[in-house]
Every structure is written in C-alpha cells, then in structure tokens.
Chain A
Amino acid sequence: MINRIVVFGRHGREMIESVGRAGQFLFGALAGVPDPRVGFPLLVRQIYSVGVLSLAIIVVSGLFIGMVLGLQGYTILSDYGSEAAIGQMIALTLVRELGPVVTALLFAGRAGSALTAEIGLMKATEQLSSMEMMGVDPLRRVIAPRFWAGFLSVPVLAAIFSVVGIWGGMLVGVEWLGVFEGSYWGNMQSSVSFTTDVLNGVVKSVVFGFVCTWIAVYQGYDCVPTSAGISSATTKTVVFSSLAVLGLDFVLTAVMFGDF
C-alpha cells in the first residue's frame, strides 16, 4: 500500500518536472527577437506544411459535420415544429464547441504528430546536434517557427471549419429538407452573438492551438532518439493533445458560459 503511494508520488513528481521542462523549453524557443529576414520565410514554410496542408481534412470534416448536424437537428426540431431553429442550433454548436474542438483534435492527429515525428527524426539523425555545433540554436531555428506556425494556424482552421460546417448545414437543411433560407440565417443571426459566441470560440481555438503545438514540438524535441522512441512520442502527442483539448474545453466552457 505504501509502495503504491510512493509510486503515485513519483509519477506526480515526474509529471510536474516534465511540465517544468516543457515550460523552460518553450521559453528557450520563444525568448529573444528573431531576425525577421531569416524567421519570416521559415515561418511561412511551416504555416504551409502545418496549416495549408491540413486544410483539406478540415474542410471535408467541417462539411460532413455540418451536414450531420443539419440532418439530426432537423429530425429532432421538427418534432416540435420548430425546424426553423436549425440554423441557430448548427451555428451555436459549431462556433462554440465543435469548430475549435474538432479542429484541434484533427490538427493534433494530422499536423501535431507530423511535427513530433519530424523533430524526433531530426534529433535521431543528429541534425539538431549538428546545428548546435554550427553555432545555430535549434530551439530558435527549428522549434520556434514550427510553434508559431501551429499557434497561428489552428484559429484560422477553426474559423474555416465553422464556416464550412454552417454552409454544409444549410445545404442539408435548406436545399434538401426545405427549411426557409431566410429563417435559417435570421434565427442564426438573432441568437449568435459576436462577443459571447464567436469571440469565445476564437479564444478557445487560440488556446487549443497553443497547447497542441506546444505538446507536439516538445514531445519531438524530448523524445528518445530511436525508432521506438519516436513512435511513442508521436502517440503521446496525439493522446496528450486530445486529452488536453477536451479537458481544457470543459474548463473554458465553464468559465465562458457558466453562470458563476
């Protein structure tokens, strides 16, 4: 019994230590002012591979989720004769919750794991070490642009996801099931508020982008530089990011929409 508590305590200590190391690592990567002539092209390249290349999965998922919401919402709401509220339901669900959350989950799976694997492989093939020996700090050269790219991409992807989803919902609700288009948009506009709904959604996606990218680059940088180490780091990235997103989503929702 005592042993179990000891093990539990050790796990706790290790976890806190690793969070501390991750914080130090992030500070090391982001401290200091980068030379924009060097940093900007690096950033652009990373936004391309992290953000632009994730666009396809985001658009397709957003479309389908919007369409599903349209179908499900219609069948439920039509029982009460209020299928006109479908627009409001789809928009609120997407803007407040599904947009930021699903985008972050997809991002962790698509881009986060790739970031971890890439950085881990650079470590395993001594590219990071050789950079250090050339007098170039890999934290600033490799980690910082990747971090900023993820941080900037997630909110953009989340906004695109929500818009595509709302459009997909309209496709099903209006074009297919025959809800009047004016009430689709009208209900939506009267119930979605820019500050409490849209902006809070943006805040969520910013937080998720920060956390997911942080986890991804840290896991890559901290991995054991072997093939087994990289694969376990990639798994950890996806698992930790997903858990962090869902947990933080609850906390943020409670703070933003809870009445206390």
Chain B
Amino acid sequence: MAQKTADLTVGLFMVAGVAALLFLALQVSGLTPKSSEDSYTLYAKFNDAGGLTPRAKVSMAGVTIGSIRDITLDRETFQALVAIAVDGSVDNIPADSAAVIRTSGLLGEQYIDVSVGGDMESLADGDTFYTTQSAMNLERLISNFASGQ
C-alpha cells in the first residue's frame, strides 16, 4: 500500500542522513572512534610558538602520532607551554627526543615534529621534552642574514 512505500522510503531517507553524517565525521573530519582516554599528555616549552594552533598535528617521521591540546604561557620562564596529546599506542618515545616546530610546505600550517633520540628510557604521561626548537621565523632569519650576524 502507499503508506508502506512512504514508510520505507522515509526510513531509507533517514538512514541516508545518518550515513551522511557518519561520513562527514569519519571520512571528512577524520574523527576516529578512539576516544581521548586512549592518549597521554606530554609538554614542550618553546621560546616562540609562532603560528602553532591547538589541534595542529604532531608527527614523528611524517606519521601523525597526536595533536596539540592547548598552548599557554609559562609565567615563570615566559615561554610557550604546549600540551600535546600523544596517541596511547606510541608509548616508547625516547626521553631525549626533541620537539621541533615545522611548517608544512612554504605557506602551510605549522606542526610539531618529534625528532627521535637514542635514550633507552621513554617519555611518560606528564613529562616534558628536554630539547625543543622554536618556530622558524622567516622575517628574523632574513634580518639576521642582512645584518651579517
């Protein structure tokens, strides 16, 4: 009967809507069903956080291993204190690894790249990167070069 056809198509319509939303969540925004409880936090202090923003990616050897949770000012050292959420599966980052701010491409977004160290010990939840390298500031670079320093 007509009512049955309507019921069926409306059901399919609603399912299509939910599927579209799921697609937007998973495929488009890359939301992984893994929740944040599956990650741990590391800290890094930079003299200049540059254009780094929360949610920017954190990668190691080009593979994304986490994201930046938030960026605050450390009121004692006047450095940028960056909290990084690292994937729980990557639990063996050597303790002497360095956090480096890099830019993807010439004009792309800034992200943190972790250069691997050689220490046997690993960073654990709440630890701070010992070595960091701040954002490359193009203007400063040029002015340094021009003044011959």
Contact = CB atoms under 8 A, between A and B. Distances in A.
Interface in B19-78: 20-21, 23-25, 27-31, 55, 57, 64
Contact of A189 (B17, B21, B29): B29
Interface string A6-42: 0000000000000000000000000000000000010
B9 interface: yes
B148 interface: no
A227 interface: no
Given A44-B7, A95-B24, A198-B24, A160 B16 contact: yes
Interface in A110-137: none
B107 interface: yes
B28 A198 contact: yes
A52 B105 contact: no
B142 interface: no
Question: What are the 7 closest A-B residue pairs judged by CB atoms, nearest first?
Answer: A189-B30, A156-B17, A159-B20, A192-B29, A194-B29, A194-B31, A48-B6
Given A162-B20, A163-B20, A156 B29 contact: no
Given A44-B7, A45-B3, A160-B16, 15 more contacts: A44-B6, A45-B6, A47-B13, A48-B6, A51-B13, A82-B108, A156-B13, A156-B16, A159-B17, A162-B24, A188-B28, A189-B30, A190-B57, A190-B64, A194-B31
B10 A160 contact: no
A171 B47 CA distance: 44
A157 B3 CA distance: 22
B10 A47 contact: yes
Contacts of B20: 156, 159-160, 162-163
B68 to A, nearest CB: 12
Contacts of B13: 47-48, 51-52, 55, 153, 156
Contacts of A55: 13
A238 interface: no
A185 interface: yes
Contacts of B16: 156, 160
Interface of B is mostly: helix
Q: Is the interface of A mostly helix, strand, loop or mixed?
A: helix
Nearest to B30: A189
Contacts of B107: 80, 82
Given A163-B23, A189-B28, A48 B17 contact: no
A160 B24 contact: no
Contact of B29 (A82, A159, A193): A193
B54 to A, nearest CB: 10
A193 B55 contact: yes
A46 B29 CA distance: 32
A185 B27 contact: yes
Contacts of A82: 105, 107-108
A163 B16 CA distance: 11
Contacts of B27: 185, 189
A198 B108 CA distance: 22
Contacts of B7: 44
A169 to B, nearest CB: 11
A197 interface: yes
Interface string B104-143: 0101110000000000000000000000000000000000
